[in-house]
Amino acid sequence: MRIITNIVLFLLPFAVFFAYAHVANRRRAIDGGDPLRTPWYWLVIAGLGLAIAGFVFMRLTADPHQGCYVRAYVDANGKTVDGHFTDDPNHPDCGKP
C-alpha cells in the first residue's frame, strides 16, 4: 500500500499539469493567447505542496517504533532473521554505541 501511495503522490502533479495543459490548449484555441505563457511558478508550488503533504501523510500513518532496533542477522540454523524492533532492554543491540 505504501508503494502505491508513493507512486500516486509522484504522478499526481503530472496528471494535474496534463489536465491543465488540455484546458489551456482549448482556451488558447478559442482566445488565440500566447502558447509560451505557462504557470510554472504555480505548478512548482503545487508539486512542493503535494510532496510536503505526502511526507506528512506518511509520518502520520507510519507505525511508531518502540524499543531498540535489532539488526538483521543469520541465526545458528543458517536462516536470515530480518531487522526488527525489540522491547528487551537486555538485548545486545540495545546497548549504547
Please say whether the dihedral angle defined by the alpha carbons of residues 32, 35, 37 and 40, taken in this order, is positive or negative: positive
User: Residue 74's pLDDT is what?
Assistant: 94
pTM: 0.43
User: Residue 6's pLDDT is what?
Assistant: 77
pLDDT in tens, 71-92: 898 999 999 999 888 888 787 8
Q: Which three cell numbers stand for residue 3?
A: 508503494
User: Residue 4's pLDDT is what?
Assistant: 83
Low-confidence ranges of the chain (pLDDT < 50): 35
Residue 22 CA to residue 47 CA, distance in Å, equals 18
Residue 43 CA to residue 40 CA, distance in Å, equals 5
Contact 73, 81 (CB under 8 A): yes
Could you tell me the residue ranges of all domains in the chain? 2-61, 66-97
User: Residue 37's pLDDT is what?
Assistant: 60
